[in-house]
Amino acid sequence: MNVLDLPRPYLLFLADVTDLSYVKTAAGLRDWARDQCVAEWALPGNPLRLGLPVMAPAEAAGAGARALVIGAATMGGAVRPAWVPALVQAMEAGLDIISGMHGPLASVPELKEAATRLGRQLIEIRKPPASLPIATGRKRTGKRLLTVGTDCALGKKYTALALTHAFGRAGVDVSFRATGQPGILIAGGGIPMDAVVSDFLAGAAEALSPAAPADHWDIIEGQGSLLHPSYAGVSLGLLHGSQPDVLVICHEAGRKRILGLDAHYPIPPIEEVIELNLMLARRVNPGVRVGGISLNTSRLSEDEARRVIEAEARRTGLPCADPIRGGAAFDQLVEACLEPEAALAQ
Amino acid sequence: MNVLDLPRPYLLFLADVTDLSYVKTAAGLRDWARDQCVAEWALPGNPLRLGLPVMAPAEAAGAGARALVIGAATMGGAVRPAWVPALVQAMEAGLDIISGMHGPLASVPELKEAATRLGRQLIEIRKPPASLPIATGRKRTGKRLLTVGTDCALGKKYTALALTHAFGRAGVDVSFRATGQPGILIAGGGIPMDAVVSDFLAGAAEALSPAAPADHWDIIEGQGSLLHPSYAGVSLGLLHGSQPDVLVICHEAGRKRILGLDAHYPIPPIEEVIELNLMLARRVNPGVRVGGISLNTSRLSEDEARRVIEAEARRTGLPCADPIRGGAAFDQLVEACLEPEAALAQ
């Protein structure tokens, strides 16, 4: 097995974390994989709720849950001692444990012992599958769309998910292909690209979107950015291995520089970003085209957002939309991705 | 420690391998790090010789050797049982063991036990150092030259070594920075880039060539090729993390396509390869320039080689040389790398 395949549906574990911003993983699953979330469960005394049914592990297992997902984050990135009895209780109820935390579950002796005793899996979604192949560069059947960004953390996953849903609504045979942890939980599988050994980077991307029927679409979650001096290698390996037919360029309105670096790396005009991505993608798929621009306008008012989106569409001649705001602009973007003749620029 | 640091000098172990093409690692060390090779040693009955003094481990240790390097390769990539007593003997003589084989030394119980008992190191040069950083993109002091290729296996390491020697002869303060196993053995350190986890790719390259005095040169061994659909991500991470001031483009005369793939990936005209590398390198160093072209002409006669090298220099307007053949053309290439005004094209 070259790609993670997670037991589902899930029980979302909020532990003793009371701040919503530390349970983003669980909230993302509620929003994007609601049908895979049987229930939520917090430790006694924690008032935090996500609006799902509340069930303890035994009840959740009875309702069909197959795994508990650690949906809370800690500063240190490890399971807290106070969580351990609850996790053992979940395994006793028949659930596997899924974690995206830095500290491996198996490094906690009680968890390792319980998993062995009960025959349960401790699944680390940070860990890429073993025995990934070297990329072959061979053309695969089926269609592929990759979301690429001008930077990290501006909506590549969100855009891929929104497009997947829209393609599905349009009756298209479509799969979301996840390349990071939150996406992997939502999809129930995928490959954490940033954890793959460099030699196998493009090979992992090839394995992630295998040959498929001619009218099937894989919508692949982008990682990093070709413009990012820390992660461009990951982005290029993913681009090459994905052999995309269509790129959707993701940008945050108003972001002028790469975030999170003290060195100054400006974000060039989006036309340059498009040309760079197309040029490198053509190496593996000469027919690649841009479907349009996904513009994150979450910092703008409704009016400002509409103005910015319209201006960007006019300026570039490409469909431009904020998937979160949806609307006619997003419908046009979806249409342009699906139909080459609707795309105004190659 | 972010970079491997190997105990030297070496005793080169040829084991029971009788075919020269399976002791390339040892032969490379003899050719490129002669002063770090105390002696060679084969198993009884193996007539293969590299022309170094022949010494058993105790004698080699007495002559200053600090480590035995496994200089032979096997089809399976693992230490053969027949080698084990010899390797234990080397550890008993006070030598560490250095291996670039796929199978880890510590997976052989007798070796692991002997290393523990004798306090010797089993060093795997395939394994990148722990705790590599994420790249910061910050500009570092000192000068850097990176060899980049139109494909794999055509002379990027050889070119970097030849330039390092030439810079040294010219009185330049220079370090060779190795990114693959044979180079790491020659340099006595480095980072095997293809084994680094993707997220740390550019960070590893930053760690490999740290800030240095303004007139110091790092000559960095390239890996893969931006044109190679399997390895371009590695090449881009290395390019970005290296922040090269000078690129030397390595090509094999007459090679028309990427080797080792059944899919057909043509090698475009070298001007396009240069433009692609410069464009991506400018992101981290706007002043990057091309020093010239290193042309591998090993398949050509002396006359043909001279004609091809001269034609390529005329056609591109860049210094062009085969480092193995050396001569005035190579001297010009070295000069152009060192002196911006001597480079005819940016």
CA distance B309 to chain A (A): 27
- Reported as a single tens digit per residue, the pLDDT across A274-292 is 999 999 999 999 999 999 9
- Reported as a single tens digit per residue, the pLDDT across B82-93 is 999 999 999 999
**Does one domain contain both B204 and B318?**
yes
pLDDT of B2 higher than 80: no
**Does one domain contain both A185 and A299?**
yes
Q: What is the CATH number of the domain that holds A190?
A: 3.40.50.300
pLDDT-derived band of residue B76, with 50, 70 and 90 as boundaries?
confident
Displacement of CA B266 from its chain's centroid (Å): 25
Q: B interface toward A at CB cutoff 8 Å?
A: 134-139, 193-199, 201-203, 226-227, 229-238, 240-241, 258, 261-263, 265, 276, 279-280, 283-284
Q: What is the CATH number of the domain that holds B22?
A: 3.40.50.720
Q: What tokens appear for A27 in the block?
A: 């909230």
B229–A202 CB contact, under 8 Å: yes
Which of B124, B157, B175 lies at the terminal end of a domain, its last residue? B124
Do residues B266 and A266 lie in contact, with contact meaning Cβ atoms separated by under 8 Å? no
Over residues A309-318, the mean pLDDT reads 97
pLDDT at B345: 42
CA distance A97 to chain B (A): 25
pLDDT-derived band of residue A317, with 50, 70 and 90 as boundaries?
very high
Nearest by CB to B232, from A203, A240, A258: name it.
A240
Secondary structure of B173-188 as H, E, C letters: CEEEECCCHHHHHHHC
Over residues A55-77, the mean pLDDT reads 95
A137–B276 CB contact, under 8 Å: no
Handedness of CA A203, A204, A209, A211 (dihedral sign): positive
pLDDT of B182 higher than 60: yes
Rounded-to-integer distance, Cα A3 and Cα A334, Å: 27
pLDDT-derived band of residue A102, with 50, 70 and 90 as boundaries?
confident
In percent, the amount of chain A with pLDDT more than 70 equals: 97
pLDDT-derived band of residue A2, with 50, 70 and 90 as boundaries?
low
* Residue B87: Cβ within 10 Å count: 26
CA distance B224 to chain A (A): 10
B137–A261 CB contact, under 8 Å: yes
Does any domain span residue A130?
no
User: Closest chain B residue to A180 measured between Cα atoms?
Assistant: B199
Measured between beta carbons, which residues in chain B are less than 8 angstroms from residue A135? 229-230
B195–A196 CB contact, under 8 Å: no
pLDDT at A51: 97
Do residues A185 and A69 lie in contact, with contact meaning Cβ atoms separated by under 8 Å? yes
User: Closest chain A residue to B237 measured between Cα atoms?
Assistant: A233
**Does one domain contain both A45 and A186?**
no
Does any domain span residue A183?
yes
Prediction pTM value: 0.94
The H helix count followed by the E strand count for chain B is 11, 13
A138–B265 CB contact, under 8 Å: no
**Total tally of structural domains belonging to chain B:** 2
Displacement of CA B21 from its chain's centroid (Å): 18
CA distance A303 to chain B (A): 35
ipTM of the modeled complex: 0.94
Nearest by CB to B263, from A136, A193, A235: name it.
A136
Measured between beta carbons, which residues in chain A are less than 8 angstroms from residue B284? 229
pLDDT-derived band of residue A345, with 50, 70 and 90 as boundaries?
very low
Which of B124, B156, B191 lies at the terminal end of a domain, its last residue? B124
pLDDT-derived band of residue A187, with 50, 70 and 90 as boundaries?
very high
Q: Is A139 exposed, middle or buried (0-12, 13-18, 19+ CB in 10 A)?
A: exposed
pLDDT of A341 higher than 70: no
pLDDT at B289: 97
Does any domain span residue A131?
no
Nearest by CB to B233, from A198, A227, A276: name it.
A198
Residue ranges making up the domain that contains B259: 143-342
Q: What is the mean pLDDT of chain B?
A: 95
Among residues B192, B193, B202, B44, which one has the least CA distance to residue B126? B192
Rounded-to-integer distance, Cα A237 and Cα A32, Å: 27
Does any domain span residue B133?
no
The residue among A146, A181, A199 with the most chain B CBs within 10 A of its CB, best to mutate, is: A199
Among residues A88, A1, A12, which one has the least CA distance to residue A46? A12
Measured between beta carbons, which residues in chain A are less than 8 angstroms from residue B276? 279
**Does one domain contain both A64 and A15?**
yes
Over residues B293-300, the mean pLDDT reads 97
Rounded-to-integer distance, Cα A192 and Cα A185, Å: 11
pLDDT of A346 higher than 80: no
A197–B194 CB contact, under 8 Å: yes
Over residues B122-126, the mean pLDDT reads 95
**Does one domain contain both B116 and B154?**
no
Nearest by CB to A230, from B137, B230, B263: name it.
B137
Nearest by CB to A137, from B230, B235, B276: name it.
B230
Does any domain span residue B329?
yes
A138–B262 CB contact, under 8 Å: yes
Measuring CA to CA, how many Å separate B344 from each of B146, B286, B335, B337, B341?
18, 17, 12, 11, 7
DSSP A107: G
Calculate Rg over the CA atoms of chain B. Answer: 21
Does any domain span residue B137?
no
DSSP string, B286-345: TT-EEEEEEEE-TTS-HHHHHHHHHHHHHHHSS-EE-TTT-HHHHHHHHHHHH-GGG-S-
CA distance B135 to chain A (A): 5
**Does one domain contain both A168 and A60?**
no
**Does one domain contain both B114 and B172?**
no
- Reported as a single tens digit per residue, the pLDDT across A257-278 is 999 999 999 999 999 999 999 9
- Reported as a single tens digit per residue, the pLDDT across B298-308 is 999 999 999 99
**Does one domain contain both A263 and A177?**
yes
In percent, the amount of chain A with pLDDT more than 90 equals: 92
CA distance B261 to chain A (A): 6
B262–A139 CB contact, under 8 Å: no
pLDDT of B341 higher than 60: no
Rounded-to-integer distance, Cα B129 and Cα B114, Å: 23
In the A/B pair of chains, how many CB contacts fall below 8 A? 129
Measured between beta carbons, which residues in chain B are less than 8 angstroms from residue A237? 198, 232-234
Q: What tokens appear for B193 in the block?
A: 């880039």
pLDDT at B74: 86
Does any domain span residue B11?
yes
pLDDT of A344 higher than 50: no
**Does one domain contain both B154 and B199?**
yes
**Does one domain contain both B169 and B111?**
no
A237–B232 CB contact, under 8 Å: yes
Determine how β-strand B289-296 pairs with β-strand B246-252.
parallel
A233–B283 CB contact, under 8 Å: no
**Does one domain contain both A158 and A19?**
no
Q: A interface toward B at CB cutoff 8 Å?
A: 134-139, 193-199, 201-203, 226-227, 229-238, 240-241, 258, 261-263, 265, 276, 279-280, 283-284
Helix (H, G, I), strand (E, B) or coil at B83: helix
Nearest by CB to A232, from B139, B236, B262: name it.
B236
B233–A229 CB contact, under 8 Å: no
ω into A192 cis (within 30 of 0): no
pLDDT at A342: 47
pLDDT-derived band of residue A75, with 50, 70 and 90 as boundaries?
confident
Does any domain span residue B42?
yes
Which of A124, A157, A186 lies at the terminal end of a domain, its last residue? A124
**Does one domain contain both A116 and A174?**
no
CA distance B269 to chain A (A): 14
Among residues B234, B245, B243, B156, which one has the least CA distance to residue B200? B234
pLDDT of B241 higher than 70: yes
